[in-house]
Amino acid sequence: MIVIGVDEAGRGPLAGSVVAGAVILPDNFELPGLTDSKRLSEKKRQSLYISITEQCQWSVGESSAEEVDDINILQATMLAMERAVNNLAAEYDKVLVDGNRCPEIRDCFAIIKGDLSEPVISAASIIAKVTRDMQMYELDKVYPGYGFAKHKGYGTSDHLKALADFGIIIGQHRQSFAPVKRLI
């Protein structure tokens, strides 16, 4: 049976895309330490990411900050998940998604805290988180005053101060999110 695991990263930040990972684990795949990406150190996530990308079928899908503003964060998350599964371009028997709802894809099952109980979802969680973090490191190079490498776009006091000092970045900051909306 071919199972795709799906999870997302970046629903809460004020900036950047929401990113979904989709993974198919090979038969008899074992990777010690595989769990929800949020429970791992950055170094461990990076190590697992390398193993997953070298040994598994995987893909990402994303929805931009502008799409988040246009259709809301929940719908943008579902769209990113659909894109991740479609980008994988693989035949499958079922899709397991972390959370309480599924995107509009066939044979999909939502599992609350699935990133803790299903290794295939844990792997997708790591793909999504590391991919999004890499995007934030790149954004930090383009806009160094905002501190994206440190806070990854979340609404920390440093990020809010940078927003007040430098303003919003069109196309990167989610203008429908209250702390950003107040500055427009």
Q: Which residue has the tokens 């995107």?
A: 103
Does the pLDDT of residue 70 top 90, yes or no?
Answer: yes
Q: What is the pLDDT of residues 83-126, one digit of tens each?
A: 999 999 899 999 999 999 999 999 999 999 999 999 999 999 99
**Distance between CA 172 and CA 56 in Å, rounded?**
31
Q: What tokens appear for 132 in the block?
A: 């999004």
**Distance between CA 60 and CA 55 in Å, rounded?**
16
What is the SS3 assignment for 101? coil
Total tally of structural domains belonging to the chain: 1
**Distance between CA 184 and CA 179 in Å, rounded?**
10
CATH classification at residue 118: 3.30.420.10
- Identify the bridge partners of residue 3 per DSSP, sorted by sequence position: 94
Q: Is 4 in contact with 24 (CB distance < 8 Å)?
A: yes
What is the DSSP-derived secondary structure letter of residue 145? G
Q: What is the pLDDT of residues 48-69, one digit of tens each?
A: 999 999 999 999 999 999 999 9
pLDDT at 168: 96
What residue ranges in 17-125 does DSSP mark as E strands? Answer: 18-24, 57-63, 94-98, 108-111
Structural domain including 69 reads: 3-181
